[in-house]
Amino acid sequence: MSLDFIGKYNNWDKVDPAELFSKAPTEKKEANPKLNMVKFLQVEARGCDYVVLWLDCDKEGENICFEVLDAVEPVMNKIREQSVYRAKFSSITDTDIWKAMDCLGEPNRNEALSVDARQELDLRIGCAFTRFQTKYFQGKYGNLDSSLISFGPCQTPTLGFCVERHDKIQSFKPETYWVLQAKVFKGKDSPLTLDWYRVRVFDRDVGQMFVSLAKTSRVAQVESVSKKEKAKQRPQALNTVEMLRVGSSSLGMGPQHTMQIAERLYTQGYISYPRTETTHYPENFDLKGTLKQQSSNPYWAEEVKALLSAGLNRPRKGSDAGDHPPITPMRAASEGELGSDGWRLYDYITRHFIATVSQDCKYLQTTIDFTIGTESFSCSGKTLISAGYTAVMPWQGIPLEEAMPACERGDTFTVDEIKLVEKQTSPPDYLTEAELITLMEKHGIGTDASIPVHINNVCQRNYVTVENGRKLKPTNLGIVLVHGYYKTDAELVLPTIRSAVEKMLNLISLGKANHQQVLQHTLDIFKRKFHYFVDSIPSMDELMEVSFSPIAASGKPLSRCGKCHRFMKYIQAKPSRLHCSHCDETWSLPQNGAIKLYKELRCPLDEFELVLWTSGARGKSYPLCPYCFSNPPFRDMKKGMGCNECTHPSCQHSLNSLGIGQCVECDGGILVLDPTSGPKWRMACNKCNVVVHFFEHAHRVQVAQESCEACDASLVAVDFNKTRTPLPADETQHTGCVFCDPVFQDLVELKHATMRYRGGGARRGGRGRGRGRRGNPKKPKDKMAALAAYFV
Q: Which residues are catalytic?
A: 273
Q: Which of 206, 317, 325, 245 is nearest to 277 (CA)?
A: 325
Q: Which of 374, 423, 421 is nearest to 180 (CA)?
A: 421
Count of helix runs (H) and strand runs (E) in the chain: 21, 27
Q: Which of 615, 759, 751 is nearest to 693 (CA)?
A: 751
DSSP-derived secondary structure letter, 162: H
Cα–Cα distance, 705 to 148 (Å, whole number):
44
Cα–Cα distance, 242 to 236 (Å, whole number):
10
Spatial neighbors of 305 by CB under 8 A, at least 6 apart, are: 295
Cα–Cα distance, 505 to 419 (Å, whole number):
61
**Residue 404 burial (10 A CB sphere; 0-12, 13-18, 19+):** buried
Spatial neighbors of 173 by CB under 8 A, at least 6 apart, are: none
| Ramachandran quadrant class, 410 (left: phi over 0; alpha: psi -120 to 50; beta: rest) | left
Taking a C-beta distance cutoff of 8 angstroms, is the pair 372, 222 a contact? no
Tell me whether strands 51-53 and 84-86 are parallel, antiparallel or unpaired: parallel
Taking a C-beta distance cutoff of 8 angstroms, is the pair 683, 673 a contact? yes
**HSE (side-chain half, CA atoms, 13 Å) at 647:** 11
Spatial neighbors of 34 by CB under 8 A, at least 6 apart, are: none
Q: Measured in whole angstroms, how far is the alpha carbon of residue 108 from the centre of its chain?
A: 29
Whole-Å CA distances, 161 to 14, 164, 493, 557: 35, 5, 9, 40
Q: Where are the beta strands (DSSP E) in 129-237?
A: 176-185, 192-196, 219-232
Cα–Cα distance, 59 to 602 (Å, whole number):
55
Whole-Å CA distances, 499 to 115, 155, 439, 524: 15, 13, 12, 17
Spatial neighbors of 113 by CB under 8 A, at least 6 apart, are: 508, 509, 515
Q: What strands lie across the sheet with 714-720, from one edge to the other? A: 698-707, 714-720, 733-736
Cα–Cα distance, 702 to 735 (Å, whole number):
9
Taking a C-beta distance cutoff of 8 angstroms, is the pair 596, 643 a contact? no
3-state secondary structure string across 501-567: HHHHHHHHHCCCCCHHHHHHHHHHHHHHHHHHHHHHHHHHHHHHHHHCCEHHHCCEEEEECCCCCCE
Helix axes 451-460, 255-267, angle to 10 degrees: 140
160 strand-pairing partners = none
Q: Which of 791, 780, 786, 713 is nearest to 757 (CA)?
A: 791
Coil vs helix vs strand at 226: strand
Q: Which of 102, 115, 8 is nearest to 60 (CA)?
A: 115
List the alpha helices (DSSP H) in 279-400.
287-292, 301-310, 335-338, 340-356
